[in-house]
């Protein structure tokens, strides 16, 4: 929901940036719905899996808060991948499931470039794996979840 509310603000910022002469946005922004469509199954799978785990283990919420903080700093939002001096750390950041989506957003919105086929493949792979893992976990634990009538 936050992203949906932020999209109009982002649109205004991109238009203002273009009017001020910055090379942001452009025709590549038209591929933003495709990236969002690839990201939604990944988020849905994570939500299904975490919801099923939360029903069984009450500590999931606290662990998730810590994990999300770690994932934030292991996602190249505040820094470019090229700024990481240690190759092993670069590999860890690239292994973060949020990294391909973040790189795609940066390329589409701020660099005005279309992501390469490798990045599209990474996003699709993360999306499929996250959906299958989350939906599979939810399906496996479905019988033990309390159902409201």
Say which residue, 1 or 123, is predicted with more confidence.
123
Q: In terms of Cα–Cα distance, which of 35, 37, 52, 65 is closest to 134?
A: 52
Number of structural domains in the chain? 1
- Write out the two tokens for 121: 């493949």
Residue 129 and residue 120: Cα distance in Å, rounded? 14
Residues 6+ apart with CB under 8 A from 102: 75, 76, 77
In a domain, 73, yes or no: yes
Q: Is residue 24 part of a domain?
A: no
Domain that holds residue 93: 39-144
Q: Is the CB of residue 130 less than 8 Å from the CB of residue 42? A: yes
Flag the least confident range among 21-25, 33-37, 113-117.
21-25
**What pTM was estimated for this model as a whole?**
0.86
- Quick check: is 82 in a domain? yes
Q: Report the pLDDT value the prediction gives residue 57, as an integer from 0 to 100.
A: 85
Assess if residue 119 is contained within a domain: yes
- Rounded Cα distance between 15 and 25, Å, is 8
Distance of CA 126 to the CA centre of its chain: 9
pLDDT (0 to 100) of residue 115? 94
107 within some domain: yes
Residue 78 lies in a domain: yes
In a domain, 3, yes or no: no
**Residue 75 in domain:** yes
CB 91 within 8 A of CB 64: no
Measured CA to CA, the distance from residue 19 to residue 13 in angstroms comes to 10
């Amino acid at each position: 929901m936050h992203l949906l509310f932020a999209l109009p603000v982002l649109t205004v910022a991109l238009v203002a940036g273009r009017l001020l002469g910055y090379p942001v946005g452009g025709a590549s922004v038209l591929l933003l719905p495709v990236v969002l469509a690839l990201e939604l199954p990944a988020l849905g799978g994570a939500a299904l899996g975490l919801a099923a785990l939360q029903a069984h283990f009450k500590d999931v919420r606290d662990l998730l808060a810590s994990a999300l903080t770690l994932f934030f700093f292991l996602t190249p939002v505040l820094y470019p991948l090229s700024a990481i001096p240690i190759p092993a750390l670069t590999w860890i950041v690239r292994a973060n499931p949020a990294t391909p989506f973040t790189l795609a957003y940066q390329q589409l919105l701020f660099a005005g470039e279309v992501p390469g086929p490798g990045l599209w493949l990474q996003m699709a792979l993360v999306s499929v794996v996250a959906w299958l893992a989350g939906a599979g976990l939810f399906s496996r634990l479905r019988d033990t979840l309390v159902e409201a009538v």
